[in-house]
Structure 1
């Protein structure tokens, strides 16, 4: 048994489904998720010593690759001042100025912690700009937990997948609405 398989078995005893994200579950394809030990440049290395080209890029944040010395040193320097303050910082202002300078059509920047927060901000912006109070939401897309502000969800459910995919797929959390 590989080290990844052993870790997956142990994780299933401690973490629902053995992973902390439904995307990593592999239950739909009958496999074992890769347990990553380290990354460098464009490569991920699993606990079994195998190297993989990282086509995922941690779903976006690692677009520049892993472990570049200049980025690593900047992160270490920033972390030495503290990790999270729950309050505005000068660096936020500098970053917003840089983004708006690099993207001239962008007047302002909203920095958020998750796809759900980004979607909620986009919904608020669209509703405020258009003056409309209705949106279209496609079921099954990420971020799944996103709801309309104030918890409102008056949606008609429509499954966009072809019939053959609806039959072939397995729910990640059966019987949980």
Structure 2
């Protein structure tokens, strides 16, 4: 979390140096909300736009082309979103839920934002952070790692019974045999 805030602060400082007075300056952060990404389970991706400029950003378009139909199924949300206006000093968030169809390493590329920084100016383009290559576990691998393994523990318990019961039976038989001889004397 602190790394995220430091990144926003540094980008904001750099943006304030180059931004003209009254212009909007947007920062786009792309974040995967799942700690473990698995094939066939929902993956939540959050986009947060921060307006650190002095003016409102208009005609804001956010697009992310990294979720191809051959690799992901769109469950909820849209990968292309539009806002009419984002006021200065505010932020907006958008969440997309997709379902990975394949396992393996996947390169999560940057999302693109385009907006008009002030009236009469040209369209400004920006990119989000690049998440890089993340592993998508197969469902079989995920279950192997994170399952409760009740069957395995049950079999382990059953296999341990002979190694506990047999020595106890030998001890009990021996004790019974020698304790009767001690009582007779």
Q: TM-score if structure 1 supplies the norm length?
A: 0.20
Q: TM-score if structure 2 supplies the norm length?
A: 0.19
Bigger proportion of residues as strand = 2
- Structure 1 or 2, whichever has the larger Rg, is 2
Higher RCO (CA 8 Å, separation ≥ 6 residues) = 2
